[in-house]
């Protein structure tokens, strides 16, 4: 498709957000159950100066937007927040993840793929290009670092800030999953939050996430990603099915940042 075929869009953010909502609504309808809260969307400029830094702070092999779309202009990052019941069940389950948590992991990854297909279709109908990435398992299994880190992309796009537990805390909390898509469609970037949305990182008392990690991976002053991954792998045999359920997530369930920006920091973000 030539550039002449590209159609102007008055509000591309609103259009693409409505595509995400349509995909979720269609999925909810077909599954006859509502297990996600309203999705969030944020946009980063592909030229944002933080992208090259991902090769310093995440991995030297981290992909750049232009690796996916040569003339990339925008990176869309969306978050699908889980209903509190999902986080509560995982918290109550004890040592292993709850079956509903594992099911949500598998199902949300499928939904993310569906949303990416919706977005790609919409963008291509407008005459632009788009490239999708898998929701998970796009990481180096030796180093346990991602070559396309949705959390870091979400941070760059202004979707949230990092918590002490290394999850991204969004306006709807950290309990949920992230997806992303790259396009050459120009979309105004969304601003990054002005302050921290993690109590500990904002200098306040918390570390509730540390108390939730009874596996020794997350401490007040350190995080052992290999111990964390071991615990995720320990959950696989607990949940039978066709998909790999290397999940844990206990540090993000039933803590002050699970489903919202912690109350003590909310006024600052408004
Ligand atoms: S539980 Fe507290 S310290 Fe841990 S990430 Fe959330 S707000 Fe930060
Ligand atoms: S995911 Fe599980 S093992 Fe990893 S830091 Fe959180 S609670 Fe600990």
| pLDDT: which is higher, 143 or 61 | 61
What would the two tokens of residue 197 be? 């949305």
| Integer Rg of the chain from CA | 18
Confidence (pLDDT) at 269? 57
- Structure-token pair, residue 215: 């596996």
What is the number of the ligand 1 atom nearest to the C-alpha of 163?
A: 5
234-to-24, 76, 142, 221, 245 alpha-carbon distances in Å: 30, 33, 17, 24, 9
Sign of CA dihedral 249, 253, 256, 258: positive
Best CA proximity match to 93, nearest among 81, 106, 102, 83: 102
Q: Which ligand is nearest to the CA of 204?
A: 1
Mean pLDDT of the chain: 90
Instruction: Report the alpha-carbon distance of residue 136 to residue 98 in Å, rounded.
Output: 19
pTM: predicted TM-score of the whole model, two decimal places: 0.93
Which of 58-62, 163-167, 203-207, 227-231 comes out lowest in average pLDDT?
A: 58-62
Average pLDDT value for residue range 57-68: 90
Per-residue pLDDT tens over the stretch 88-97:
999 999 899 9
Q: Is 255 a pocket residue for ligand 2 (Cβ < 6 Å)?
A: no
Q: What is the pLDDT of residue 75?
A: 97
pLDDT digits (tens, 9 = 90+) for 188-230: 999 999 999 999 999 999 999 999 999 999 999 999 999 999 9
Q: Report pLDDT for 218.
A: 98
Q: Ligand 2: which of 101, 174, 215 to mutate, most ligand atoms within 8 Å of CB?
A: 215
| C-alpha 197 – ligand 2 centre gap (Å) | 19
Ligand in closest contact with the CA of 169: 1
Binned at pLDDT 50, 70 and 90, residue 25 comes out as: confident
Handedness of CA 195, 201, 207, 213 (dihedral sign): positive
Instruction: Using a pLDDT cut of 70, give the percent of the chain over it.
Output: 90
Q: What does the pLDDT read at residue 73?
A: 97
Q: Provide the pLDDT confidence category of residue 35 given band limits of 50, 70 and 90.
A: confident
Is it the case that residue 51 has pLDDT exceeding 90? yes
State residue 92's pLDDT score. 97
pLDDT, tens only, 40-50 = 999 999 999 99
Q: Decide: 198 in ligand 1 pocket, CB within 6 A.
A: yes
Instruction: Evaluate if residue 119 carries a pLDDT over 80.
Output: yes
Please report, for residues 9, 116, 172, 248, the alpha-carbon distance to residue 236 in angstroms, rounded to integers and kept in the order given: 45, 26, 27, 10
Strands 74-81 and 176-183: antiparallel
Average pLDDT rounded to a whole number, residues 167-173: 98
What pLDDT is stored for residue 249 in this prediction?
96
Task: Please give the distance, rounded to the nearest whole angstrom, from the Cα atom of residue 61 to the centre of ligand 2.
Answer: 25
């Amino acid at each position: 498709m030539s550039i002449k075929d590209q159609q102007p869009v008055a509000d591309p953010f609103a259009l693409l957000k409505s595509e995400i909502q349509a995909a979720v609504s269609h999925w909810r309808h077909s599954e006859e159950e509502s297990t996600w809260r309203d999705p969030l969307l944020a946009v980063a400029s592909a030229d944002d100066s933080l992208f090259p830094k991902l090769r310093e702070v995440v991995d030297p092999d981290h992909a750049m937007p232009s690796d996916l779309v040569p003339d990339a202009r925008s990176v869309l990052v969306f978050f699908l927040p889980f209903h509190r019941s999902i986080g509560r069940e995982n918290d109550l389950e004890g040592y292993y993840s709850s079956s509903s948590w594992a099911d949500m992991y598998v199902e949300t990854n499928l939904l993310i793929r569906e949303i990416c297909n919706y977005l790609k279709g919409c963008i291509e109908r407008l005459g632009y290009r788009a490239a999708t990435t898998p929701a998970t398992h796009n990481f180096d299994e030796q180093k346990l670092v991602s070559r396309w880190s949705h959390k870091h992309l979400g941070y760059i796009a202004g979707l949230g800030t990092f918590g002490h537990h290394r999850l991204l805390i969004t306006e709807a909390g950290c309990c949920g999953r992230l997806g992303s898509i790259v396009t050459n469609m120009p979309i105004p970037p969304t601003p990054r939050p002005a302050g921290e949305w993690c109590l500990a990182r904002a200098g306040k008392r918390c570390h509730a996430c540390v108390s939730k990690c009874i596996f020794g991976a997350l401490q007040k002053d350190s995080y052992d990603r290999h111990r964390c991954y071991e615990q995720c792998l320990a959950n696989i045999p607990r949940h039978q099915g066709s998909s790999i359920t290397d999940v844990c997530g206990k540090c993000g369930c039933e803590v002050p940042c699970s489903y919202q920006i912690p109350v003590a920091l909310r006024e600052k973000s408004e």
